[in-house]
Structure formats: structure tokens, C-alpha cells
Amino acid sequence: MALSDREYQAFKREMFAFIWRELDPYESEIERTDKVPREILPKLSRARCFGLVVPKEFGGVGLTISQYVEILAELSKIHGGIRVLVHVHNTTAKAVGMLGSDKWKAELLPKIATGEASVAFGLTEPDAGTGKDLRTRAVRDGKDFVLNGRKWLITNSDIATHFMVFCHTRQESDGAGISALLVPRGAPGFRIEPLPPTMGCRGGEHGLLTFENCRVPCENLLGDEGQGLHQMTVALEVSRLLIAATSLGTAERSLELSLEFAKKRVTFGKSLAERQAIQIYLAEMGADIYALRNMIRDAAAKADRGERIPTEASMCKLFGLEAVGRVTDRALLIHGGIGYTQKYPIERLYRDARLNWLEEGTPTIQQLVIARNLLNGYKWSA
């Protein structure tokens, strides 16, 4: 059962205060060291950040999508490395909740809710495109699958206790047959190596995973054999919406900082805020944010009512990355040359936001999904 509105409002107040009081101060340390300090993990656990979407019966907070997007947007105003860590953890928690067997749910979800366990999402490959093209393969041998292949850019590969690995387990003539296997860290034949530092959302590890004759028990299948990718796509339909919520938070913070800066900085005897050119930027930033906020609210409410939202989620993700792109561009312009330095967080927000183009699929993928669904008769619902 979800939190009542009163319980949620109290939770949200505490969570927002925690984000700014306990997490925001780590910004410069993470930028300097390119590491999210381990001391943050117990803090996140105590604040229940690891169990945000885990159902209450498994020890989580059990937020609805409409509630989770608000928390995620606020988290996206501070350092992107923390947002990525928490968000990927919660996304895979949702996947385990929806596709895990009763045994896996009972075993893993309570640990996921506290952060004692964490599952990474292993889809992208260095040697192939994402989808039917995947090269990672698992062949049945007795009670095990024998897994071979490589994955890269896998977030939380430094803290994950398990990896959800997408691989072909059958050779269907149409190229389908992709399954999801839960591979524990430390399984024989499984190696994890770090990749170079990222442009933004620094501080986490997005590793290269190599599987060489790695034996994985057949009971570690998530979902049905050969249906894993399809089932995961349906189960995680909302995850594109969640990236839009990230865009929203980053855009809102960029506007807040720009408003402050425009009022403070004086050139030729007037504040920037008094210049019409700057006001036009601010107005357009506000309009983008208002539109995105309402798109997300609409799609989240539909998801909470149990409706499928593949088109809406892709539209939100696509519009969100374009909106946060425009907003962070303008925020940088408003800040002038000093905005290009690390004196203000705008430089980091600009870099952090660029990940939103990639997470949960590039703009091209979103355009393909939206166009296909429109052509197949998608109808706008009220």
C-alpha cells in the first residue's frame, strides 16, 4: 500500500531537507576526487534512499511513480553522481520487484531496501548494438547457464552485489530470445574493470564486465527465458519518464541559480535582470520547465493508474533532454565567463545534464518509439 498523502508530504519534507543538508555539501569533494565517498552510503540507507520504490512489505518506502519523480527531481539539483547512484539502484529494485521470482524477491528486496544489496543493469555492449544485436550469450548446461560476453558503461559496478545481465539464451529465427540473468559479484569467470572518468555525473563507476564461461544457476533467470528484454522493457517503461524527472530537477536548479545571478550582477549600471535579452532567456527557461513538469505529472498519474505509457515516457524523455539542454545553455550564457569556471554549480549542472541524452536510450530511439506508436494509432487520453 502506498503512503497516504499526509505521510508522503512529511516524508518529502524530510527527504528534501536531507538532500540539501547531508548530500549537497559533498559536491566539491566528488568533483575533486571523482569518487562518491563511501561514507555517503550509510547516510543514504538511514534516509531510506535505497528503498524508495521497494514495496512496503519488503521493507521499502513504496513510493508511487508520481511521488518518486518529485524526490528524483530534487536529487537531480545536487551532484549528478549521487543522483545516478540512487536512481540506478531504485530502477533495478523496481525490476527485481516486477520480474523476480518469489524466492529472489524475498531474498533480495529487503537487502536492496537498506542498501546491503544493489543490482546493476547490464545491457549495453562494446561489441554490438542494444537489442537483438547483443553478442552476450548463455548456453544451458545442466542446472546452469554458461555465460560469455562483454558489457560496458554499467553504472554502480563498484557497489553492486548483483548484475542483471541481458544475453541470448536461444537462437530464434527473428533474433529474439534475450533473457535476463542475475549474476552475483564474484562469480567465477566474471571480471569487472573500471572505464575512464565521465564528462559529468562524476564519482561513480560505470564498469566493463567480462564473462568467460561464467556459470549462473538457471534459477537466476529474471522473467521468462527468451522474454527477459521484452518483459524488462515493459516493466521499466516508466524509467524513461524518470530520466525526464532528472532533466526537470537540473533545469529547475539552473533557473534558480540564473535568477539569483541575474539580480546580483551589474553591468553598465544595471542588473542583468533588468536587460530584456536576459528576461527573454529567463522566460523561455520558465516555459520549458512548466511544460516538462506538467508532462511528467500527466504521465506519472497514468502510470500510477496502471495504464501503459510507452509513448508518453519517450515523449517526456525526449522533451526533457531538449528542455534541459536549452535551459542549461541559457543558464551558462546568463552567467557569462564566470559560469564556465567551477565557481558556480552551473558548469557542473551543464555537464551532468548531458548524460540525460544517453540514459534509457538516445533521442533517436525515443523518436523511433514515438513515431512507431503514432503510426500504429496511438490515441491521446485525457
Ligand X SMILES: Cc1cc2nc3c(=O)[nH]c(=O)nc-3n(C[C@H](O)[C@H](O)[C@H](O)COP(=O)(O)OP(=O)(O)OC[C@H]3O[C@@H](n4cnc5c(N)ncnc54)[C@H](O)[C@@H]3O)c2cc1C
Write out the residues near ligand X by the rule CB under 6 A.
88, 121-124, 129-130, 153-155, 198, 201, 206, 355, 358-359, 361-362, 364
Least distance from ligand X to the Cβ atom of residue 4, Å: 33
Strand partners, 222: 180
Least distance from ligand X to the Cβ atom of residue 128, Å: 8
| All cell numbers assigned to 229 | 528484454
On the 0-12 / 13-18 / 19+ scale of CB atoms within 10 A, 64 is: middle
Nearer to ligand X, 201 or 313 (CB): 201
CB 206 within 8 A of CB 182: no
Distance CA 192, CA 143 (A): 25
On the 0-12 / 13-18 / 19+ scale of CB atoms within 10 A, 95 is: buried
Distance CA 366, CA 372 (A): 10
Least distance from ligand X to the Cβ atom of residue 150, Å: 12
Least distance from ligand X to the Cβ atom of residue 358, Å: 4
Let me know how long the chain is. Answer: 382
How far are the Cα atoms of 73, 143, 156 from residue 95, in angstroms, in the given order? 21, 24, 16
Distance CA 318, CA 267 (A): 37
Least distance from ligand X to the Cβ atom of residue 338, Å: 27
Provide the sign of the torsion angle of the four alpha carbons 26, 28, 29, 33, taken in this order: positive
* Beta strand spans in 116-189 (E): 119-122, 137-141, 144-155, 162-168, 178-184
Least distance from ligand X to the Cβ atom of residue 279, Å: 35
Q: How far is CA 235 from the centre of its chain?
A: 14
CB 153 within 8 A of CB 160: no
CB 296 within 8 A of CB 248: yes
CB 114 within 8 A of CB 127: no
Nearer to ligand X, 312 or 359 (CB): 359
Least distance from ligand X to the Cβ atom of residue 331, Å: 22
CB 78 within 8 A of CB 86: no
Catalytic annotation, pick one of 31, 237, 312, 360: 360
Q: Position of cell 515516457?
A: 313
Least distance from ligand X to the Cβ atom of residue 120, Å: 6
DSSP string, 251-320: HHHHHHHHHHHHHH-EETTEEGGGSHHHHHHHHHHHHHHHHHHHHHHHHHHHHHTT---HHHHHHHHHHH
Q: Is 360 a catalytic residue?
A: yes
Residues with catalytic function: 360
